[in-house]
Amino acid sequence: MKIADKNTKAVDLVREALEKAKKYEEYHCFISMNESHALERAREIDEKIANGEKVGRLAGVPYALKDNYLSREGVTTAAARMLDNFPSPITATAVAKLEAEGAIMIGRTNLDAYAHGSSTENSYFGPTLNSHDTSRVAGGSSGGSAVAVALGIVPFALGSDTGGSIRQPASYNGVIGIKPTYGTVSRYGVVAMASSTDVMGCFANTIEDADLVMRIMAGKDPKDSTTLDDFWTRDLEDAKPKKKKIGIVKDFLGNGVDEEVKKTFLDYAKQAEKAGFEVEEIEMPIAKYGLAIYYIIQPAEVASNLSRYDGIRYGHRAAEITDLDSIYNKTRDEGFMPENKRRIMIGNFVLSSGFFDAYYLKAQKARTLLIKAYDEAFEKYDALLCAVAPAPAFKLGEKVNDPLQMYMEDVMSVPPSMAGLPAIAVPAGSSKSGLPIGVQLVGPRKSDQVLLNIAKSIEESK
Amino acid sequence: MSEYKITIGIECHVQLNTKTKLFSAVDNDAVDKEPNSCVSPIDYALPGMLPVLNKAAVEKAVKAGLAMNCKINLVSRFDRKHYYYPDLPKGYQISQMYQPIIGAGEIHLPDGSTVKIEHAHMEEDAGKLTHYGTYSLVDLNRAGTPLIEIVSMPDIHSAAQARLYCEELHRLMLYADVTNGDLYQGNMRFDVNISISDTDKLGTRAEIKNLNSFRSVERAVEYEYSRQKALLEKGEKVKQETRGWNDATGKTTSQRSKEEAQDYRYMPEPDVPPIALEQSYVDKIAANMPMMPDEFRSKFGVLNLDASEQEAILNYPVLAQRLSEVCDKDIKLAPRVAHWFSSILLAEENIDKNFALATAPELVELSEMVEKKELSSTAGKEVFLELYDKKNTSKTPHTLAKEMNLLQENDEGALEAIIDEVLTAPECAKAAEDVRNGEMKAIGFLVGQVMKKSKGKANPATVNELIKKKLS
């Protein structure tokens, strides 16, 4: 990516990004633009450079921010009517770290409301269109960010990934998507979806760009007790895999996976062998239960995390209210999208007394088994390889009325999320009709940079 | 008519006196503050806010547990308890449902009985809602204040014992310095579960919520006993329900029944990692625990104080501590100091329990002055009332006594001058003559005259001796 210096003006970088954003307006990547702030900050950086002052590692680099991150610049909506026009008094830690390095946010990108979804169609503001075929979905929930990077509007964009929300749209749009180890980047100031699997990551067009952005955002944050000590500290070439072995999860090669996806994936595996990796099939029978585990634990946490949107203190409040119950009922009825409500209902059901043991507790036990299965696999392999989604981007409207089909999108992206593992999505090829297809590398906790190193060596062996 | 046995279990919420809240770094002391002035984005439950556990609250909880002779659980966890109310910004309260920090223990009451503690857990307080006819206002100053909820076993069997339990719990929490203990401010609140039965099986219980004085605990239990007894005697059943207490009417009223009870949908709190304590950390706190009321009771036993006087002193850790120090210096002087202490408790309605009390050496000095008859006992108490609150004075007992003109004059030279003056005064001639003739009851008049002239500072015994010597 281009970084501002004596020869490259930050103002030009930002202006160029803003112009492209306007040019590609029909894709609906953005919910709101941050034009005046962005230009003002760019001018400040140019001034610093002119004065010979030190500027950050991302000086003048424009980027796009998924609209579930809080920032004092502009309003955060989470693509929900509930937060329509919410000016945040605080800035998310990840955003503050990027700003401190001179990165400039040009706009807030579209998402499924509260990040609930796999197509960005659940946005209160309407869907984002796929970068390669405007009749198809962008993927989701971080669809706006993925498309903004794929169209070259910005060199990187932030997303959040709870069960695939970065990897799947990355795959659908042919860009790199990083879902780091749970606890790598602070969640402080990001609208919570499911706290125990929410991670903050990014989209980029090159592995180096992704590495730099993650390096800057990573690290312990006293405001988020679940953050890990900073481990994203190595030069990428130093993060070499030790075993040179990659496992292919056989359980994800069966029915329901599109033939073109399967072929692209197997080609990528061959490429990995060319790059010097030993590639083996492994069985991980518990992996296919990942989705079932996820759709119990995630809605439970979602239902809990969305309780705060009650119309009392901020955000939307229904107009005609008569008593306390109507504040809650009408406000939440109007403020949430159908998918939000579906998850609130599932979540409250699995947590309710009498059902808690049978659903939530059992899911947590299964989750422990899943983590164990991964730990065992990683005694043998540096990484596990699988597709990101069962098929390339689907048509707009195709799955909107079939939530189960929509949830199936997450079947391969959810297991690493439940185990807190790093998973990166990298472009691997295209369908005959030109739709991008990505693959996913999953590694043990804190091996994020090793995964990037592996992806890079496979890319370079082509 | 059957005899009913009453069974009582008490849940007590104690607000911890930490500087900041349980999960946010804002002021935890909301007394006299503007509504919503002690509220952080975390307490306000803005999107994206995460709770950060206050370590000082954990330490206070451990202290509270040790004060109740409880097991401290080295690993404990937080859970979310969900319900909707405007004073609960997140829509859930962070509490400890499954793995509380404080395990089983017991406390000993002054009447010799023991009440077992089932467990105690940490949680955050809610805000406050004030209703004004057609609208209500929310104040979140108290939202996020650290609490421990202490759950007793159903070991209590009378209204008086229920009160004693609450009072002793209050003392323990004060001694451990985990709460300000101001009941009026809601620092300690009691939920009382009461059932009665004339068989070995426990009866159906009613829970009386949110009692905030010892007296109301006692009265509510008494009322519930007669209410439930009347129901049973009519052949009706006691309903399992939550009831509220009306202090004005002295009655409890139904709030909601078991069927209407909320499903709190408990869930492990994913944003706060488990609390993992080292045994050495607990041991260190245990080693530095201050003396507890029971230890003071056994120490003060030899003073033979009136029981109510002793318990009144024990209500103020600072008084008990000082009395204990006086005991260490000179046990003979301690009863007098104890009486002085109870005199201030009688004199003042509400004494600030953290007031700067005179030091033990000062109290010993004052007490010794009375012993040596440099001060009359009445004068000693007068000086004490000036001395005890160091906010008012920094003077020594002797200086104070002198300034207050209360020192008894034992200097014979000065006294003789006064006596000579009295004996030669015309109005005393008759009495002096009588004493000379052996009619000793007239001496009282002369001593009185000397005392008057000395403005009470003369020691009457010394005066008596000197007059006798002069007139013999």
Q: Quick one: pLDDT band at residue A288, thresholds 50, 70, 90?
A: confident
B272 min Cα distance to partner chain A (Å): 6
Q: What pLDDT band is residue B382 in, cutting at 50, 70 and 90? A: confident
pLDDT of residue A389: 95
CA distance A260 to A431: 6
Say which of A86, A312, A352 has its CB closest to residue B138.
A312
As a whole-number percent, the residues of chain A with pLDDT over 70 amount to: 100
CA dihedral sign of residues B167, B170, B172, B174: negative
Question: What average pLDDT does the segment B244-260 reach?
Answer: 89
In chain A, whose CA is at the least distance from the CA of B44? A313
Averaged pLDDT for residues A342-357 = 95
Contacts of residue B48 in chain A, CB cutoff 8 Å? 69-70, 90, 92, 187-192
> Alpha carbon A244 to chain centroid distance?
27
Q: How far is A312 from chain B (nearest CA, A)?
A: 7
Tell me how many domains chain A contains.
Answer: 1
Residues of A with Cβ-Cβ distance to B271 under 8 angstroms: 195, 224-226
Out of B41, B86, B271, closest to residue A226 by CB = B271
What is d(CA A4, CA A9) in angstroms, rounded to the nearest whole number?
Answer: 5
Nearest CA in chain B to A307: B91
In a domain, residue A387? The reply is: yes
B14 — pLDDT class (breaks 50, 70, 90): very high
Structure tokens, A462: 């082509």
User: Could you tell me the residue range of the domain that residue A324 belongs to?
Assistant: 9-462
A326 to chain B, closest Cα gap in Å: 12
Q: Is the peptide bond before A165 cis (omega within 30 degrees of 0)?
A: no
Task: Decide if A1 is inside a domain.
Answer: no
A269 in a domain, yes or no? yes
pLDDT, residue B353, reads: 62
Distance CA A419, CA A378 (A): 13
Distance from CA of B123 to the nearest CA of A (A): 17
Taking alpha carbons only, the member of A70, A74, A79 closest to residue A31 is A79
Please report the residues numbered 148 through 167 in chain B whose beta carbons come closer than 8 angstroms to any beta carbon of chain A: none
B205 inside 8 A of chain A by CB = no
Query: Of chain A residues 225-254, which have a CB less than 8 A from chain B?
Result: 225-226
Q: Measure the CA–CA gap between A77 and A73, rounded to whole angstroms.
A: 12
Select from B50, B89, B265 the Cβ nearest to the Cβ of A224: B50
Residue A4 lies in a domain: no
Question: Could you tell me which residues come within 8 angstroms of residue A113 by beta carbon, excluding any fewer than 6 positions away?
Answer: A78, A79, A80, A81, A82, A122, A123, A124, A336, A337, A339, A340
Residue B102, C-beta contacts closer than 8 angstroms, at least 6 positions apart: B61, B62, B64, B65, B68, B70, B71, B72, B73, B117, B119, B120, B121, B148, B150
d(CA A166, CA A217): 16
Are the Cβ atoms of B266 and A356 closer than 8 angstroms?
A: yes
For residue B429, which phi and psi values (nearest 5 degrees)? -55, -45
* Confidence label for B247 from pLDDT (cuts 50, 70 and 90): very high
- Looking up residue A169, the CATH number of its domain turns out to be 3.90.1300.10
**Residues recorded for chain B:** 472
Check if B229 contacts A (Cβ < 8 Å). no
* A189, A300, A310 member nearest B48 (Cβ): A189
Cβ neighbours of A92 in B, within 8 Å: 48
Q: Does A356 touch chain B (CB under 8 A)?
A: yes
Residue range B161-196, pLDDT digits in tens: 999 999 999 999 999 999 999 999 999 999 999 999
A268, A260 in Cβ contact below 8 A?
no
Which residues of A does the annotation mark as catalytic?
Answer: 66, 141, 165
Instruction: For chain B, say whether A351 makes contact (Cβ under 8 Å).
Output: yes
B84 touches chain A (CB under 8 A): yes
Of the two residues A100 and B350, the one the predictor is more confident about is: A100
Residue of A nearest to B90 (CA): A308
B92 touches chain A (CB under 8 A): yes
Residue by residue, what is the 3-state secondary structure of chain A? CCCCCCCCCHHHHHHHHHHHHHHCHHHCCEEEECHHHHHHHHHHHHHHHHCCCCCCCCCCCEEEEECCECCCCCEECCCCHHHCCEECCCCCHHHHHHHHCCCEEEEEECCCHHHCCCCCCCCCCCCCECCCCCCEECCCCCHHHHHHHHCCCCCEEEEEECCCCCHHHHHHHCCEEEECCCCCECCCCECCCCCCCCEEEEEECCHHHHHHHHHHHECCECCECCCCCCCCCCCHHHCCCCCCEEEEEHHHCCCCCCHHHHHHHHHHHHHHHHCCCEEEEECCHHHHHHHHHHHHHHHHHHHHHHHHCCCCCCCCCCCCCCCHHHHHHHHHHHHCCHHHHHHHHHHHHHHCCCCCHHHHHHHHHHHHHHHHHHHHHCCCCCEEEEECCCCCCCECCCCCCCHHHHHHCCCCCHHHHHHCCCEEEEEEEECCCCCEEEEEEECCCCCHHHHHHHHHHHHHCC
| Per-residue model confidence (pLDDT) at position B354 | 63
Is A340 an interface residue toward B (CB < 8 Å)?
no
Q: Which of the pair, B289 or B422, is modelled with greater confidence?
A: B289
- Chain B partners of A187 at a C-beta cutoff of 8 Å? 48, 50
Q: What is the distance in angstroms between the Cα of B259 and the nearest Cα belonging to chain A?
A: 13
Question: Is residue A178 one of the residues assigned to a domain?
Answer: yes
When CB atoms are compared, the residue of B48, B268, B272 closest to A188 is B48
Give the predicted TM-score (pTM) of the model.
0.91
User: Is the per-residue pLDDT at A66 higher than 60?
Assistant: yes
Instruction: Report the 10 Å Cβ neighbour count for A311.
Output: 21
Q: What is the mean pLDDT of residues A48-56?
A: 96
**What's the CATH architecture for B412-471?**
Orthogonal Bundle (1.10)
The average confidence (pLDDT) of chain B is 91
Given CB atoms, is A349 within the 8 Å cutoff of chain B? no
Across the range B429-444, mean pLDDT stands at 83
Cβ pair A427, A175 in contact under 8 A: yes
pLDDT tens for residues A428-462? 999 999 999 999 999 999 999 999 999 999 999 98
Q: How far apart (Å, rounded) are the C-alpha atoms in residues B157 and B298? A: 25
Q: What is the ipTM of this complex?
A: 0.96
B205-224 pLDDT tens trace: 999 999 999 999 999 999 99
The count of other CB atoms within 10 Å of the CB of residue B244 is 15
Return the pLDDT at B2: 62
Which residues of chain A neighbour B52 with C-beta distances below 8 Å?
A: 222-223, 225
**In 3D, which of A27, A33, A57, A32 has the Cα closest to residue A45?**
A57
How close is the nearest chain A Cα to the Cα of B125, in Å?
Answer: 16
pLDDT digits (tens, 9 = 90+) for A131-161: 999 999 999 999 999 999 999 999 999 999 9
Asked if residue A34 has pLDDT above 60, the reply is yes
In a domain? residue A385: yes
Q: Which residues does chain B have within 8 Å of residue A308's beta carbon, measured at their own beta carbons?
A: 45, 47, 89-91
3-class secondary-structure state, position B416: helix
Q: Does A419 score more than 90 pLDDT?
A: yes
Q: What string of DSSP letters covers B58-101? A: HHHHHHHHHHTTPPBPSEE--EEEE---TT-TTSEEEE-SSS-S
Give yes or no for a contact between A175 and A205, defined as CB atoms under 8 angstroms apart. yes
Asked if pLDDT for residue A28 goes beyond 90, the answer is yes
Bigger pLDDT: B444 or A233? A233
Contact across the interface for B267 and A88, Cβ inside 8 Å:
no
Kindly tell me if the per-residue pLDDT of B428 is higher than 90. no
Which among B91, B268, B273 is the nearest to A226, CB-wise? B273
Interface of A with B in 176-195 (CB under 8 A): 187-192, 194-195
Contact B50 A300 (CB under 8 A): no
| Residue A372: band (very low, low, confident or very high) from pLDDT cuts 50, 70, 90 | very high
Contact: B84, A225; criterion CB under 8 Å: no
Contact between A170 and A141 under an 8 Å Cβ cutoff? The reply is no
**Angle made by CA atoms A157, A163, A168, in degrees to the nearest 5:** 55
Write out chain B residues lying below 8 Å of A324, CB-based. 86
Q: CA–CA separation, A298 vs A108, rounded Å? A: 25
Please report whether residue A246 resides in a domain.
Answer: yes
The pLDDT, as a whole number, for residue A347 is 97
Interface mutation target, options A310, A314, A336, A355, chain B, most CBs of B under 10 Å? A310
Q: Please, are residues A218 and A232 in contact by the beta-carbon 8 Å criterion? A: yes
**How many residue pairs from chains A and B have C-beta atoms closer than 8 A?**
96
Q: Is the pLDDT of residue A63 over 60?
A: yes
The minimal CB distance from A313 to the residues B48, B89, B268 is found for B89
Residue limits of CATH 1.10.10.410 in chain B? 412-471
Cβ-nearest to A223 among B50, B89, B265? B50
Q: What is the mean pLDDT of residues B287-302?
A: 94
Question: Would you call A353 an interface residue with chain B, using a CB distance cutoff of 8 Å?
Answer: yes
Does A340 fall in a domain? yes
